[in-house]
Structure 1
Amino acid sequence: MPDLIPFADITHHFADFAHTAFRLETRRAYASDRTSPNRSKFERGERFTFNPDSPWHQQVRASTNEGKRFERVRLVDDPPTEGQRFLLATGVGNVAAGEDIRNMWRSDAERLNLPDEDFWLFDSRILVSFVIDEDDVTLGVHVTEDPAAVVRACQARDAAWHYAVTTAEFQTAVTSAM
């Protein structure tokens, strides 16, 4: 297993990839979302806006304007957890920036034997696997170009992408997310 490194050490991949950056999100919540400035508004049921000039949205726009793709599949419980509902609500800003975010029910992912850990896959050749603790805190990541590990991630990506639906379509099935 590759060494555990800080997530900050791999962020250059978001600018350096040539074609696709794919994320599989499997968690029921993420600690980082609990500190989002929009979280308290979400919890109170208030509408909130998105910052189109955030560094993430700027990066996504710049990359997609170059013809690169940011793709993401999120697994969602039925009923969705509060953390998943928050991601559905905030995902609208990411989609507006150019990400193609899709969602699928966790039960469907289990039937497909999708992995239950988060990862980023860059250009179908670099796999960044997250290590997340029981409090939903990212402890670091493992980076590998091992062909067998990358092929497994590509297979998971392809299966998830095939069965997942767009954020807009999924939100109609989960009215409590907005």
Structure 2
Amino acid sequence: MTETLDNIIRGCQAGDSRAQRELYVLFKDKMFGICLRYAGNFDDAQDIVHDGFVKIFMKIGQFRFEGSFEGWMRRIMVNTSLEKYRMHCQVININDFTKEIDNTDSSDFSTEISARELVRFVQELSPRYRMVFNLYAIEGYSHKEISNMMDITEGTSKSNLSRARAILQEKVRKYFSQTAKIK
């Protein structure tokens, strides 16, 4: 952690509004990117970021300079996103999940798929499948952590991930078979 960031954090812990502004400017874009994967749209992502920063500033006194500050903030943003999910029972966009789809046998496919199409496929998943897929494949949480966050069993988390992958792989296969017929 840089000395400058340490000073900003200490300022935030002391309630310095200038330090809070600096911290917000320093991390808002990264945190927005995280929240956008969970939000249904741009406005929802902004709301989550706002709520997350409010929580960060309320809890910053608990940060003990052990481990990554950015990781600590990220966890708060993900938890804020999960709270919004629980309140509204809907989950949102995933922007980067191509590595999960790589398990699909693409040797027969003679065309490429756009990121926009992949995002659309994930958006078509049920809210629970999307949440589990995002937490596991994108955020790197374990099934045990997901089960605790979402109040489901580990087995349900594993099952939801397996079903989400199967659905996505089928959507990719259909997409490629349809685009191959067009060419």
Q: Which TM-score band applies after superposition, normalised by the shorter structure?
A: under 0.3
Per chain length, whose mean CA-contact separation is higher, i.e. which structure has more relative contact order (CA < 8 Å, sep 6+)?
1
Larger Rg: 2
Q: TM-score, structure 2 length as denominator?
A: 0.25
Higher helix residue share: 2
Q: TM-score, structure 1 length as denominator?
A: 0.25
